[in-house]
């Protein structure tokens, strides 16, 4: 199977993530991206727009990748919701360990590149909503006997706990995911 070549936009975003991880967000310029990708600066502007637009494209790319590992984990456990939550949690935590953009954002929260901090704070509520929407959709085939408001609260709890561990890990992904799944199992049983 041959890989589909990346679009120009995808190449620019990939380069931006790589440069952000290597140099920091403040060092990422449209001119540097153009040099990195081997195109004109105008091409970068045509594909991305402004630097805030680039930041948004980077965040959405990473969100898609995280949600993809969640979907794969749920697909692997079509009849066991607690196992699916555990596998999804572990997959997210493992994916987060080596994620360049996430490491750059986390270092910004610890005082390194404060210009990057808005990437985390500006989009936090929309990222949470997107994650909760995907989890809610993935829960639909499972038999969960909770009223909608309680189910929504349970989804919110799982998403926020996983994201908390993404930002500040407290142990190995497998152990953390097992604990998250155990808590989710208790909550989902009503």
Whether 152 is covered by a domain: the verdict is yes
Domain count, the chain: 1
What's the CA gap between 174 and 87, in Å, rounded? Answer: 9
User: 81-97 and 173-188 helices cross at what angle (nearest 10)?
Assistant: 150
| CB-based contact 1:40 (threshold 8 Å) | no
Cα atoms in the 13 Å half-sphere on the side-chain side of 132: 16
Whether 9 is covered by a domain: the verdict is no
pLDDT band for 41, please (50, 70, 90 cuts): very high
pLDDT band for 154, please (50, 70, 90 cuts): very high
In the structure, how many helices (H) and strands (E) does the chain have?
10, 0
What's the CA gap between 83 and 147, in Å, rounded? Answer: 22
Instruction: Provide the token pair at 87.
Output: 């596998």
Whether 41 is covered by a domain: the verdict is no
pLDDT band for 162, please (50, 70, 90 cuts): very high
CB atoms within 10 A of CB 112: 17
The set of residues, in sequence order, having a beta carbon less than 8 Å from that of 21 and lying 6+ positions away, is 100, 101, 103, 104
Of 54, 45, 50, 43, the residue nearest 16 (C-alpha): 54
* pLDDT of res. 35: 96
* pLDDT of res. 111: 47
Start-to-end Cα distance in the chain: 46
Output the pTM of the full model: 0.81
* pLDDT of res. 120: 57
- Predicted confidence (pLDDT) per residue in 14-38, tens digit: 999 899 888 888 889 999 999 999 9
Whether 15 is covered by a domain: the verdict is no
- Determine the average pLDDT of the residues in 64-72: 92
pLDDT band for 64, please (50, 70, 90 cuts): confident
Whether 127 is covered by a domain: the verdict is yes
| CB-based contact 58:17 (threshold 8 Å) | yes
- Predicted confidence (pLDDT) per residue in 103-152, tens digit: 776 665 444 455 555 555 555 677 788 889 999 999 989 989 899 999 99
* pLDDT of res. 175: 97
Whether 129 is covered by a domain: the verdict is yes
- Predicted confidence (pLDDT) per residue in 74-106, tens digit: 999 999 999 999 999 999 999 998 887 777 766
- Determine the average pLDDT of the residues in 152-166: 92
Residue 156: give the domain boundaries: 59-188
| CB-based contact 114:108 (threshold 8 Å) | yes
Whether 97 is covered by a domain: the verdict is yes
Whether 141 is covered by a domain: the verdict is yes
């Amino acid at each position: 199977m041959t890989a589909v070549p990346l679009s120009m936009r995808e190449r620019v975003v990939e380069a931006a993530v790589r440069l952000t991880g290597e140099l920091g967000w403040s060092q990422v310029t449209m001119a540097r991206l153009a040099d990195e990708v081997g195109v004109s600066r105008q091409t970068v502007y045509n594909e991305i727009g402004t630097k805030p637009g680039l930041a948004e494209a980077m965040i959405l790319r990473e969100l898609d990748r995280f949600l993809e590992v969640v979907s794969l984990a749920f697909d692997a456990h079509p009849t066991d919701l607690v196992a699916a939550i555990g596998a999804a949690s572990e997959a997210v935590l493992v994916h987060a360990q080596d994620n360049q953009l996430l490491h750059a954002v986390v270092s910004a929260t610890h005082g390194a590149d404060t210009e990057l901090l808005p990437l985390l704070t500006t989009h936090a509520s929309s990222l949470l909503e997107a994650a909760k929407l995907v989890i809610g959709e993935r829960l639909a085939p499972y038999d969960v006997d909770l009223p909608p408001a309680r189910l929504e609260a349970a989804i919110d709890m799982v998403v926020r706990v996983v994201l908390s561990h993404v930002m500040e890990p407290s142990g190995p992904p497998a152990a953390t995911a097992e604990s998250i799944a155990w808590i989710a199992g208790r909550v989902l049983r009503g």
